[in-house]
Chain A
Amino acid sequence: AQTVTQSQPEMSVQEAETVTLSCTYDTSESDYYLFWYKQPPSRQMILVIRQEAYKQQNATENRFSVNFQKAAKSFSLKISDSQLGDAAMYFCAYRNIHGSGNTGKLIFGQGTTLQVKP
């Protein structure tokens, strides 16, 4: 079974600085999707960025980028120019695409709480 691990329960960053959140996963599949979701105190789950495993190029969305290392099964999130509004819980998630493992469900990591200091 696939698993997702976030080893940093809490992180903090100074406003305008850069922070990297770590995520590792375990799978025997070659094709899958990886996601980073943000959950602020409002509880709303917000998609930050998505990476298709077959794409070697790292995904980027404005100040958010990932370092996808498929062989190492690592998927870290880098937040540049951190803003106060980035403070939230961040979840890494995995989804199978093909075969019997394609149930459509997301498998989440434990989450990392990011604090942004002014």
Chain B
Amino acid sequence: SAVISQKPSRDICQRGTSLTIQCQVDSQVTMMFWYRQQPGQSLTLIATANQGSEATYESGFVIDKFPISRPNLTFSTLTVSNMSPEDSSIYLCSVVDRDYGYTFGSGTRLTVV
């Protein structure tokens, strides 16, 4: 199965600033997904990132707040912009593996102060 390197693993940021999270996959994948997981909650899909096209955002998430880049088939970034304490969450990337399995990054724990 694919292996994902997600960075940073955690960060503490000042409100009003931005943080970029990176995911590097060890194989080429078509679709990458970005999730947010608020403390003690389930995973909520932010957007789907396909190489060569704009990301598709879920209801409640907008590109200005969560811009995504997908420059090639092995890499993607998610930026959390103009952060507020409500953005404090775990952010995870995920890819579809062979046989419809999914592999997840190790997550980024973001705290906004």
The answer to whether A and B come from one shared complex is: yes
CA distance A44 to B45 in the complex (A): 16
CA distance A5 to B106 in the complex (A): 25
The reply to whether B107 and A44 form a contact with Cβ atoms under 8 Å apart is yes
What residues on A are CB-neighbors of B106 within 8 Å? 42-44
What residues on B are CB-neighbors of A25 within 8 Å? none
CA distance A60 to B101 in the complex (A): 16
The reply to whether B92 and A45 form a contact with Cβ atoms under 8 Å apart is yes
CA distance A43 to B107 in the complex (A): 6
- Contact partner of B48 (CB less than 8 A), chosen from A43, A104, A110, is A104
Task: State the majority secondary structure of interface residues on B.
Answer: strand
- Contact partner of A33 (CB less than 8 A), chosen from B31, B42, B100, B107, is B100
CA distance A43 to B48 in the complex (A): 21
CB proximity of A62 to chain B, nearest CB, Å: 17
The reply to whether B90 and A43 form a contact with Cβ atoms under 8 Å apart is yes
CB proximity of B80 to chain A, nearest CB, Å: 17
- B96 on interface, CB distance cutoff 8 Å: yes
> Considering only CB atoms and an 8 Å cut-off, how many residues of chain A contact the other chain?
19
- B61 on interface, CB distance cutoff 8 Å: no
- A30 on interface, CB distance cutoff 8 Å: no
- A91 on interface, CB distance cutoff 8 Å: yes
Interface centre among B33, B42, B56, B100 (most CB of A within 10 A): B42
- B53 on interface, CB distance cutoff 8 Å: no
CB proximity of A12 to chain B, nearest CB, Å: 17
Closest 6 CB pairs of A and B: A45-B104, A43-B107, A104-B31, A108-B42, A108-B43, A110-B42
Residues of A bordering B, CB below 8 Å = 33, 35, 42-45, 47, 50, 91, 95, 97, 103-106, 108-111
Residues of B bordering A, CB below 8 Å = 31, 33, 41-43, 45, 48, 56, 90, 92, 94, 96, 100-102, 104, 106-107, 109
